[in-house]
Structure 1
Amino acid sequence: MLLLRPPGVYAPQDDTWLLRQALHDAALAPGARVLDLCTGTGVLAMTALRMGAAEAVALDASPRAVLAARCNAWLHRLPLAVRRGDLTDALAEAEHGRPFDLVLTNPPYVPSPRHELPRRGAAMCWDGGPDGRAVLDRLCAYAPSLLAPGGTMLMVHSALCGTQVTLGLLRERGLKSSVVARTTIPFGPVLRERAAWLEERGLIAPGQRTEELVVVRADRP
């Protein structure tokens, strides 16, 4: 799929493609209402539309990502609703009687020495706080509020953030959860740069330069 990606917008890569494969494996129900949170280029939301979703909403906090997703939807002639927003905006829509049958999300999850999440720049796409869970924990807490009964969330993140933590939080919220896809990849530029800090924090073993990516599926009864 041809995608326009201006500087500062997250480039689709291993985590994107693993989540897209999980989407295909999930067998999306025709007519589903889909949310793509942290959409980037919009590729996952557009994939859902091509699979038969009746409606797809793409949200991203980055103005550049919003522009990119709108341009890509226009390029591929797909009726994607793209808006600037975050989890708070998605919750507001769901709680006003418009919950989602499927939520896709590739949130920021890379552990960062900075305690505050960046508000601008490319690091918005990946920095997830000191343990990588600043956004993940909120997603787990509010997932039931986003989903319609019988709805599903597919979320990708690194196992460095704690796969079992994610599964446990989702189950505490009454969701059936499991890992439905995984792959091991070499560190990218950001993790290579932070390797010494990650070792000091005990988040990786000495000399470790690979990470496991996982897609967690959560189903609302």
Structure 2
Amino acid sequence: MSADMAEDTRAPRLMTLPGVYAPQHDTRLLMDALNREDIGPGTEVLDVGTGSGALALHAAQLGARVTAVDIARRALVTARLNALLHRRRITVQRSDLLSALPGRSYDLVICNPPYVPSPMGGLPVRGAARAWEAGRDGRAVLDRICETAPSALRPGGRLLLVHSGLCDSDVTLRRLSDAGLRARVTDRALVPLGPVLRSRLRWLRERGLVHEGEMAEELVVIRAEQA
């Protein structure tokens, strides 16, 4: 998840407690990809890092049976409240990615993980930054998703994953392919750099992640399917 994009007003109106990631352009991009999937009654969906619950609620609206997980307790409270407000039934559970769901499998796994490269290196253990800070290369959580998500997919199951082009989508494709999935980029969008990326722009340019004069970030949606 990136903190840098303005809230997307096209997303359903949701409440967010302080420190919980609000729906933004990456949420909407993943939601559009979700609309193209064959989802209906009986489809089991897992939303990893649910935040406000926006994607989980959208999947439930499409008819899926949805489990939503997050490590942040405020996110869990927010997702439950939004499910009540929108009269959608979703199962909300605390989990560090898929760690609390051993042996469970799903038809579709969706994930908008933290993916912002950070000069600080490590991952924060609390606070709002937990939703976007992702280590020096932005892949601290992405690599774990690539490693663990395939085991949660049923035969023919699909993974939908959104992240910044700053994190190198080719690495994600390669890791998912190495895990036995057929993976490709299905969506791309350019969005303006927001306050977090602008605050570390010099560092990003020194690392060659953002070129001089460049003030936009590319988002990608990756779709991977279990053989």
TM-score by length of 1: 0.94
Matched with 2:153 is: 147
Q: Which residue of 1 aligns with 2:42?
A: 31
- Which consecutive residues of structure 1, in runs of 5 or more, have no partner in the other structure? none
The alpha-carbon deviation at position 2 of structure 1 amounts to 2.4
How far is the alpha carbon of 1:29 from its aligned partner? Answer: 4.5
Deviation string 1:70-108 (CA, Å, 9 cap, x unpaired) is 00001111111112212242542xx1xx30110010000
Residues 14-50 of structure 1 show CA distances to partners (whole Å, capped at 9, x for unaligned) of 0000000000012324311111011011010111111
Give 1:202 shift.
1.5
The answer to whether residue 80 in structure 2 is matched with residue 80 in structure 1 is no
Residues 48 and 98 in structure 2, CA contact (< 8 A), matched pair in contact too: no
Counterpart amino acid of residue 19 in structure 1: L
What is the letter of the counterpart of residue 85 of structure 2?
Answer: L
Distance in 1, Cα, partners of 2:213 & 2:124: 28
Which has the larger share of helix?
Answer: 1
Q: 2:68 aligns with which of 58, 63, 77?
A: 58
Asked if 1:10 corresponds to 2:21, the answer is yes
Report how many residues are paired: 216
Residue ranges of structure 2 left out of the alignment (5+ in a row):
1-11
* 2:50/2:70 contact within 8 Å kept: yes
Give the CA deviation at 1:182: 1.0
- Whether the 8 Å CA contact 1:40–1:68 is kept in 2: the answer is yes
Cα distance in 2 between the residues matched to 1:200 and 1:91: 40
Q: 1:207 aligns with which of 191, 202, 213?
A: 213
Identity %: 53
Q: Which residue of 1 aligns with 2:7?
A: none
Name the SS for the 2:210 alignment partner. coil
Alpha-carbon contact 1:73-1:80 (below 8 Å) kept: yes
Residues 1:219 and 2:225 are matched in the alignment: yes
Residue type at the aligned position of 2:44: R
Counterpart AA for 1:202: G
